[in-house]
């Protein structure tokens, strides 16, 4: 375990020295961990891991290691029985992706009871959640969890718990933006996102970084 952590830190330090996009490797796909996600049924853990790996595979093979989002409806069993789609894939650019630019993803977010949105981030700094990710999670009631996977295979996630309070989440989001010069530049945007992540428990949201 210690060896894995040292290797991960080494990968990050090497990546930070680069001034360009990090290209995805088969090793990064293999490294994606199986996580015991809070507030998510155990039966979904392996599925989420495979979806996170697929985000990297699709980005590597079909999108030049640019951003990709997969939206997954946790009511998949019922949807399969009805012959309905339960996974939507959206391809983005090097600097962003709109998960619901996929028609299937849009339908899932609009109609599914609980959705998981897995987003690939491939910035040279290997950033965690962006402010737009946080805003997306809050905006759509059906989005239960957002998972960020970097081009090196590490995982972060935000998940709404039983005590999730929309009003508190909106207030915290606005406070984060206001406290960081209205988040009107890259530094302000990241600081605002960090502020939200550190305090999201106030709104009943769990955050973890692997």
Closest C-alpha to 72, from 119, 4, 32, 20: 119
pLDDT for the residue 12: 42
pLDDT for the residue 60: 95
Q: Over its length of 210 residues, how does the chain's per-residue pLDDT go in tens digits?
A: 545 544 544 444 444 444 567 899 999 999 999 999 999 999 999 999 999 999 999 999 999 999 999 999 999 889 989 998 999 999 999 888 999 999 999 999 998 889 999 988 765 444 678 888 999 999 999 999 999 998 889 999 999 999 999 999 999 999 998 877 666 677 778 888 999 999 999 999 999 998
Residues 6+ away with beta carbon under 8 Å from 189: 130, 131, 180, 183
Closest C-alpha to 45, from 53, 54, 37: 37
């Amino acid at each position: 375990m210690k060896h894995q952590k040292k290797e991960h830190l080494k990968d990050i330090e090497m990546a930070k020295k680069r001034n360009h996009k990090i290209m995805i490797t088969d090793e990064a796909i293999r490294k994606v961990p199986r996580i015991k996600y809070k507030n998510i049924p155990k039966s979904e853990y392996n599925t989420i891991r495979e979806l996170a790996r697929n985000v990297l595979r699709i980005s590597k093979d079909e999108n030049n290691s640019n951003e990709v989002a997969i939206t997954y409806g946790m009511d998949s069993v019922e949807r399969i029985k009805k012959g309905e789609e339960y996974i939507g894939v959206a391809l983005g650019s090097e600097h962003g992706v709109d998960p619901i630019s996929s028609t299937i993803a849009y339908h899932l977010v609009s109609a599914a009871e609980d959705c998981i949105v897995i987003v690939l981030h491939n910035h040279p700094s290997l950033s965690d959640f962006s402010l737009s990710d946080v805003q997306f999670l809050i905006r759509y009631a059906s989005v239960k969890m957002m998972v960020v996977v970097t081009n090196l295979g590490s995982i972060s996630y935000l998940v709404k718990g039983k005590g999730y309070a929309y009003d508190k989440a909106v207030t915290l989001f606005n406070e984060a933006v206001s406290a960081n010069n209205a988040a009107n530049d890259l530094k302000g945007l990241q600081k605002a996102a960090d502020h939200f992540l550190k305090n999201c428990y106030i709104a009943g949201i769990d955050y973890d970084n692997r």
